[in-house]
Amino acid sequence: MKKVILSLTLIICSLTLYAQNIIGAWESYTTSDDGEKLRNVVIFAEGYQVMATFNATTGEFVHTNGGTWKLEGDMMTEKVEFHSDNPDFVGKEVSFKVKISANEIEIVGSGSKINRIDDGTPGALQGAWLMSGRIRDGETQLRDISRPRKTMKILSGTRFQWIAYNTETKKFMGTGGGTYTTTDGEYTENIEFFSRDDSKAGLSLKFNYELIDGKWHHSGFSSKGDPMHEIWSVRE
């Protein structure tokens, strides 16, 4: 019996280690049909993930999808919450075998591999967040984060991506992403792709940020130059 308990403990520890190893940002490069170099970036937070494809040179947005994930042994299962190309995929589960090492994830049998960008550190804001409110003219306006219309932002240690979508209608509304830094209460986004306007690629936007009672307060000016004060809550 002790041997059985020990074996189960080792299995649980192994699964936990694998899950921790996946947290962070990963990338690969592919070539489009017209010969353009494409960059594929995947961000794994605890329980949630997002993948984006964009032109590595121009930042032109190509595709994104994501949702929840779980790892059981060497089997990864992802449930799609949003898909920029085909809404019919929303709500479906996809399972595949993975081989994980410190700096590489291989999707077994496909020939696809992604390489580590970061491991989730330094990660002051690492994780999955949902837009949960705004402050306008000094008035706090909260929103129900359980509703199907969502704006989610997933951050690794160095990368971010936001996604606006609706799990009920399966509609994808937009996304953007790139790298970020946090220094002395200042949060800076360096945009590498923006689905609604490719010309935004290359912009750097600075915001004030503060964690108050576990919520991320994000204030400054949007990419359009409009003043904003957003409240984000950790996605459970």
Distance CA 156, CA 125 (A): 8
User: Which tokens sit at 213?
Assistant: 């009672």
Is it the case that residue 7 has pLDDT exceeding 50?
no
pLDDT tens digits along 14-69: 344 455 589 999 999 999 999 999 999 999 999 999 999 999 999 999 999 999 99
Of 155, 156, 157, 153, nearest in space to 174 by CA? 153
Distance CA 219, CA 217 (A): 7
Q: Confirm if 101 and 185 have CB atoms less than 8 A apart.
A: no
- Cβ neighbour number for residue 233 with a 10 Å cutoff: 17
Q: 233 pairs with which residues across the strands?
A: 130
- Dihedral (Cα; 76, 78, 83, 88), 10-degree rounding: 110
Of 92, 232, 215, nearest in space to 160 by CA? 232
Terminal C-alpha separation, the chain:
36
- The three-state secondary structure class of 143 is coil
pLDDT recorded at residue 122? 86
- Rounded mean pLDDT of 127-142? 95
Strands 37-45 and 93-100: unpaired
Cis peptide before 122 (omega within 30 of 0): yes
**Intervals of CATH 2.40.128.300 along the chain:** 2-118
**Intervals of CATH 2.40.128.490 along the chain:** 127-234
Topology (CATH) of 127-234:
Lipocalin (2.40.128)
Topology (CATH) of 2-118:
Lipocalin (2.40.128)
pLDDT tens digits along 75-101: 999 999 999 999 999 999 999 999 999
- Reported pTM: 0.90
pLDDT recorded at residue 5? 40
Tokens 């494409």: give the residue.
38
pLDDT recorded at residue 4? 39
pLDDT tens digits along 174-217: 999 999 999 999 999 999 999 999 999 999 999 999 999 999 99
